[in-house]
Amino acid sequence: MKWYHYVAAFFAGMFLANAVPHFVNGISGNPFPTPFADPPGKGLSAPILNIIWGLFNIIVGYLLFRYGKISHRNKLPLVIFFLGIITISIMLSIVFSDKATM
């Protein structure tokens, strides 16, 4: 495998994990921060925008997952995929920790 397959695997994990809070809040009818809010990432966006942003993340994550050649047979890309999930999950928990006070 080439180095860029590992990069794709890492970002696939990041995009797919990032889709979860946006999609869940969107289908629940809750406003939630997106990059399109004012200020970006801090203000709240409408639920429909969160659904769209979540679906965009799912599509990009899926394409990167396929491109990253992630499978149960090839363990290293799978580990890197999960490292992407862990990384964005920790980052988002820090960024959204003050959402309750918004």
pLDDT digits over 41-78, tens only? 888 999 999 999 999 999 999 999 999 989 889 899 99
Residue 74 lies in a domain: yes
Cis amide linkage into residue 47, ω under 30° from 0: no
Residue 66 lies in a domain: yes
Residue 35 lies in a domain: yes
Residue 11, domain extent: 3-96
pLDDT in tens, 7-33: 999 999 999 999 999 999 999 999 999
Backbone angle region of 41, left / alpha / beta, with phi > 0 → left and psi within -120 to 50 → alpha: left
Residue 102 lies in a domain: no
Residue 101 lies in a domain: no
Structurally, the chain folds into a number of domains equal to 1
